[in-house]
Amino acid sequence: MARLTVSKTYKLYIGGKFPRSEGGHTFEVTTTKGVFLANAAAASRKDARDSVVAARSAFAGFSGLTAYNRGQILYRIAEVLEGRKDQFVAEIRDSEGATAKAAAAQVDQAIDTWVWYAGFADKYAQIAGNGNPVSGPYFNLSTPDPTGVVVALAPQGLSGESLLGLSATLAPIMTSGNTAVVVSHYAQPLSAISFGEVLATSDVPAGAVNILTGDPAAIMPWMASHADVNALDLAGGSSFDWVEWERAAAQTLKRVRAPYPGIAPTSLGRITAFVETKTVWHTKALG
């Protein structure tokens, strides 16, 4: 008797677990030629709310890790991604219509992105912080602290590069100790959920990263007005009415990073976009 293939079920990634959508809704994921690939979970408002609760619950623990430890976690993500390269190459070829060479190059770039930010985890504070010159018997130090819970929209470009876009958006948010909710590429979400499996086996604390699949137009307006979200990275929002999301975010004083054309390159600025400056004053010993 021929053996039946075990088809993969693509779910959400919330709080370190892989739940189905609360509403039970799914949407079809197809190849670039319209051939059916899989059913992906369509995240509901409750799924979005649960992901924010998970990210908030994980914030104290993740932000409280040493910068060196966070760098180790990000490097471990790169390690696991390297070990599962063949799986991601196959998914990218199927969903994006890329050649084997192009798919492999994308996975390599995603791995390199995680390694780059891992290296900056315990170094960016020395660049972004400083000792301030003051007049008096005291000294003044400014240091960067993570903003909190960041909701990010992965790039949604027609050219694909869904795994690289997700990595380029998520890695700098995590580097400084923020926790995240990422809304994946809508048409090509398969590698995003598979990436959740990488996170689950990479020492990332449960809830520190949550991945939603579904229509950003249905998810992001609610996220923009959510009072417990501290910032929005609208990297992939250029084809949506992102200005309305920005207006909604202003009601709760969120920091908003505007859409970026294409895939953002690695940069210190992407780390510091979601940090707050903490200033400490301390008296000097006299004599």
pLDDT at 132: 73
To the nearest whole number, what is the mean pLDDT of the chain?
Answer: 93
- In percent, the amount of the chain with pLDDT more than 90 equals 80
- Provide the residue ranges of all domains of the chain, joining segments of one domain with +: 26-283
Backbone angles phi, psi at 217, to 5 degrees: -65, -25
Read off φ and ψ for residue 53, nearest 5 degrees.
-60, -45
Q: Is the CB of residue 33 less than 8 Å from the CB of residue 94? A: no
Q: Are strands 255-257 and 231-233 parallel, antiparallel or unpaired?
A: parallel
Tell which wins on pLDDT, 207 or 131: 207
Rounded-to-integer distance, Cα 14 and Cα 262, Å: 27
The H-or-E segment that residue 40 falls in is strand 36-41
The answer to whether the predicted template modeling score (pTM) of the entire model surpasses 0.85 is yes
The residue among 88 and 9 whose pLDDT is bigger is 88
One-letter amino acid for residue 42 of the chain: A
Q: How far apart are CA 99 and CA 103, in angstroms?
A: 6
125-180: pLDDT as tens digits: 988 877 777 777 777 778 889 999 999 999 987 667 999 999 999 999 999 999 99
Across the range 202-218, mean pLDDT stands at 96
What confidence tens digit (pLDDT) does each residue in 177-186 have?
A: 999 999 999 9
CATH architecture, range 26-283: 3-Layer(aba) Sandwich (3.40)
Selection from 124, 127, 113 nearest residue 74 by Cα: 113
